[in-house]
Chain A
Amino acid sequence: MSPRIACLLISVGLIATPRGASAQSAGEVVAGAAVGGLLVGLPVTLAYSTARAQQGAYAWNTREAVLRPAGLVAGAVSIGGGIWTGASDRHRVGDLALGAVVGGGVGALVGRGVAQLTAPTPEGRWAGLVIGWGVGALVGSVTYTLVRGADRTSGAETATALSVSLPRGLPGAGW
Chain B
Amino acid sequence: MVTRTRIVLSAVLVAVASQQGCTGRVDRFSAGSEPVGVAEPSPDEVAAVLFLVGDAGMAEEGRSPTIRQLGRDVEAWAGALPDSAVMAVFLGDNVYEVGIRDPDDPGYPQDTLRLNTQVRAVAGPMARERAARGVFIPGNHDWGNLRGEAGLARARNMAEHLAGWAASGTAAVAFLPQAGDPGPANLDLGRHARILALDGHWWLQGEEPEARAAVMSRIADAMDGAGDRHVVIASHLPLLTGGPHGGTIPFFPTFGLRFLAHKSGMLIQDVTAKPYKELIAAFHDVFDRVGPPLAMAGGHDHSLQVLEGTLPDGRTYTQLLSGAGSKLTDMRPVPGMAWGRRAPGYMRITFLEDGGALLHVTAGAAAYKQCDGDGDVRLQCMAAAADSMHVAYSARLR
Contact = CB atoms under 8 A, between A and B. Distances in A.
Contacts of B263: 122-123, 126
A94 B266 contact: no
Given A62-B254, A65-B266, A56 B261 contact: no
A65 B145 contact: no
A120 B258 CA distance: 22
A64 to B, nearest CB: 9
B269 A61 contact: yes
A97 interface: yes
Given A123-B263, A130-B264, A60 B258 contact: no
B350 interface: no
Nearest to B206: A56
Contacts of A122: 263, 272
B269 A60 contact: yes
Nearest to A53: B266
Contacts of A50: 261, 264, 266
A123 to B, nearest CB: 4
Contact of A59 (B8, B206, B267, B272): B267
Nearest to B277: A123
Interface string A112-146: 00000000001110110110000000000000000
B261 A65 contact: yes
A98 interface: yes
A40 B269 CA distance: 27
B1 interface: yes
Contacts of B254: 62
A65 B113 CA distance: 31
Scoring B140, B261, B263 by chain A CB atoms within 10 A of each residue's CB, the highest score goes to: B261
Interface in A134-175: none
B389 interface: no
A53 B273 contact: yes
Interface in A12-64: 42, 46, 49-50, 53, 56, 58-62
Nearest to B7: A101
Interface string A98-119: 1001000000000000000000
Interface of B: 1, 4, 8, 140, 145, 147, 206, 254, 257-258, 260-261, 263-269, 272-275
The 9 A-B pairs of least Cβ separation, nearest first, read A123-B265, A58-B268, A126-B263, A127-B264, A126-B264, A53-B266, A62-B258, A130-B264, A50-B264
Given A123-B263, A127-B265, A130-B260, 20 more contacts: A50-B261, A53-B266, A53-B273, A56-B206, A58-B266, A60-B145, A60-B267, A62-B254, A65-B257, A65-B261, A65-B266, A65-B267, A94-B1, A97-B8, A122-B263, A123-B272, A123-B274, A126-B265, A127-B264, A130-B264
